Amino acid sequence: MPRVLNRPAASRPSRTPAEQLRATMAALRVGFTWFGIRKTLTPEQRSQAAESFGAEGQFLSAGKKLLDSKHPAFRAVNAVKHEVVTYWRGVSLPFPEPGIRLIRQQDVSAVQVQLTTLKAELTEAVEQLEQQFEAMKATARERLGSLFNPTDYPDSLRSLFDVTWEFPNVEPPSYLQQLSPDLYRQESQRVSARFDEAVQLAETAFILEMSTLVSRLVERVSGSDDGQPRVFRDTAVENIREFFQRFRELNIHSSEQLDQLVEQSQRILNGVEPQALRDTAQLRQRVAGELSAVQSVLDGLLVDRPRRNILRRPR
Q: Does 140 lie in the same domain as 54?
A: yes
Residue environment code for 253-289, b if the CB has 16+ CB neighbours within 10 A, otherwise e:
ebbeebeebbeebeebbeebebeebbeeeeebeebbe
Q: Which residues contact 155 (CB under 8 A, 6 or more apart)?
A: none
Virtual torsion, Cα 167, 207, 288, 300, nearest 10 deg: 180
Q: Does 26 lie in the same domain as 153?
A: yes
Residue at a domain's end among 166, 199, 231: 166
pTM over 0.95: no
Q: Does 147 lie in the same domain as 183?
A: no
In which domain, by residue range, is 210 found? Answer: 176-311
Per-position pLDDT tens, the chain of length 315:
344 444 444 444 578 999 999 999 999 999 999 999 998 878 787 777 767 776 766 767 778 899 999 999 999 999 999 999 999 999 999 999 989 999 999 999 999 999 999 999 999 999 999 999 999 999 999 998 988 999 999 999 999 999 999 999 999 888 888 889 899 899 999 999 999 999 999 999 999 999 999 999 999 888 767 767 788 889 999 999 999 999 999 998 899 999 999 999 999 999 999 999 988 889 999 999 999 999 999 999 888 765 444 344 444
Q: Does 218 lie in the same domain as 149?
A: no
Residue at a domain's end among 106, 132, 166: 166
Half-sphere exposure at residue 87, Cβ-oriented, CA atoms within 13 angstroms: 20
Q: Which residues contact 65 (CB under 8 A, 6 or more apart)?
A: 37, 38, 140
Q: Does 189 lie in the same domain as 155?
A: no
Distance CA 300, CA 207 (A): 10
Q: Does 276 lie in the same domain as 158?
A: no
Q: Residue 9 falls within a domain, yes or no? A: no
List the one residue out of 61, 60, 14 whose CA is nearest residue 40.
Answer: 61
Quote the number of domains for the chain.
2
Residue at a domain's end among 166, 199, 218: 166
List the one residue out of 215, 238, 219 whose CA is nearest residue 230.
Answer: 219
Q: Does 268 lie in the same domain as 134?
A: no
Q: Residue 215 falls within a domain, yes or no? A: yes
